[in-house]
Amino acid sequence: MASEHATLAEYLKNWSGGDETRDAVSIALLALAEASGRLSALIAEGPFVRGLGETVGDGGGGDIKKFLDVESHKMFKDALAKAPVAALGSEEADDAEILNEGAPLVVAIDPLDGSSNINTNVSIGTIFSVLPAPPGMDMNSALLQAGNTQLASGFFVYGPQTTLVVTVREGTHIFTMAPDDRVFRLTQRNLKISPDKAEYAINASNARHWPNAVKAYMRDLHAGKDGPREKDFNMRWVGSLVAEAYRILIRGGIFLYPGDSRKGYEQGRLRLVYEAIPIALLVSEAGGSATDGLRPILEIKPDNLHQRVPLVFGPTAEVERISRYNEAQSGGEASPLFSERGLLRS
Ligand code: FBP
């Protein structure tokens, strides 16, 4: 019975305990949840809404802007304007947008992640990061704080179920929107990323463009039982970051979107401020790690709202293993050393 599960509002009320900052975060999260409910209903209309996945412009940097990208941005912006949020930094707007001057929070958001999947009936989502807006700090600087200052982060998935994966820095939890009353209810507490799942997610069509360290790491995974890892690995690539992150939080595995030699992809494809940073907090609260291949994502101080970053996340031991491949990268061809049985076995 859905009603046996605590609602998001109940969970947040209990967590906040009347603390002023926590109350502000709770109001912002409930505003995001409200907008996500409306967006989920719009997505479910699918083919009955003309042009949901229609291209309406060029988002810059090779990204295509779809009708749903624009609509979702409006929905979240309108909802957050009624919350104690001073400014919004969105994938769908060039600059930070001022909402309520003097309010204690700022929010960074990818309103519609996985836009290439809109027309394919595959899970898409919304990713967000909630940061403090210290008095006197300008809004751009507030949005460009390092990820370890986040007060909360999360993502919604519009898939077979509409779900919210969220952290207020007390574990990573899943709330599922109950179909009868469309209220988010706590369905899984304290996710812990499994260390053992032999599964990876990477867009393998870019293999020829990868740096040598990534080529070497992947070659060792592909060698399976006969290679240095001595086990076979399975592969999944949905093409929606929210779907890969959800799967990894639920059953483990490793995610990589490295930088590569294609023009514009030197720092990978994903955005630091509103994709990598919120995912990194969720993953670390679930006992895993997220890096750019070497540096912890949560320690990187962003330079601009839309900058890209290579992203690796999953169980800590596997993420660290990838860092060792990167550290050992010699700059020549993928080193045969990497394939020596046991060399990099932890
Ligand atoms: P959007 O925010 O424009 O949808 O781009 C992000 C994304 O769709 C991620 O969700 C996904 O991991 C990645 O791009 C897929 O990239 P590619 O198409 O290069 O595999």
- 110 Cβ below 6 A of ligand 1: yes
CATH of the domain at 274: 3.40.190.80
For 66-70, 123-127, 252-256, which range has the lowest pLDDT when averaged over its residues? 66-70
Q: What is the pLDDT of residues 250-290, one digit of tens each?
A: 999 999 999 999 999 999 999 999 999 999 999 999 999 99
CATH of the domain at 83: 3.30.540.10
Q: Does residue 340 form part of some domain?
A: no
Q: Which of 128, 158, 188 is the last residue of a domain?
A: 188
- 115 Cβ below 6 A of ligand 1: yes
The pTM (predicted TM-score) of the whole model is 0.94
pLDDT > 70: percent of the chain: 93
Claim to verify: residue 183 and residue 220 sit in the same structural domain = no
Query: Which of 32, 39, 68, 113 is an active site residue?
Result: 113
Burial (CB < 10 A; 0-12, 13-18, 19+), residue 179, is: exposed
Q: Looking at the predicted structure, is the pLDDT value of residue 335 above 50?
A: no
Domain that holds residue 155: 2-188
Q: Does residue 338 form part of some domain?
A: no
Q: What is the pLDDT of residues 289-328, one digit of tens each?
A: 999 999 999 999 999 999 999 999 999 999 999 999 999 9
Q: What is the pLDDT of residues 3-16, one digit of tens each?
A: 789 999 999 999 99
Q: Is 8 a catalytic residue?
A: no
Q: Does residue 284 form part of some domain?
A: yes
Q: Which of 131, 159, 188 is the last residue of a domain?
A: 188
| pLDDT for the residue 62 | 58
Q: How many CB atoms lie within 10 A of CB 222?
A: 16
> How does the average pLDDT of the chain come out, rounded?
92
Claim to verify: residue 7 and residue 137 sit in the same structural domain = yes
**Number of domains comprising the chain:** 2
Q: Is 113 a catalytic residue?
A: yes
- Report how far residue 32's alpha carbon sits from residue 27's, in angstroms, rounded to the nearest whole number: 9
Q: Does residue 180 form part of some domain?
A: yes
Q: Does residue 143 form part of some domain?
A: yes
276: Cβ contacts below 8 Å, ≥ 6 apart? 147, 270, 290, 292, 297, 309, 311
Report the nearest-CA residue for atom 12 of ligand 1: 241
- 109 Cβ below 6 A of ligand 1: no
| pLDDT for the residue 339 | 39
Claim to verify: residue 60 and residue 133 sit in the same structural domain = yes
Beta bridge partners of 109: 90, 128
- 194 Cβ below 6 A of ligand 1: no
Q: 114: CA distance to ligand 1 center in Å?
A: 5
Single-letter amino acid, residue 219: R
Claim to verify: residue 92 and residue 125 sit in the same structural domain = yes
Query: Which of 39, 88, 91, 220 is an active site residue?
Result: 91
Ligand 1 nearest atom to the CA of residue 115, by list position: 4
Report the nearest-CA residue for atom 18 of ligand 1: 239
| pLDDT for the residue 52 | 76
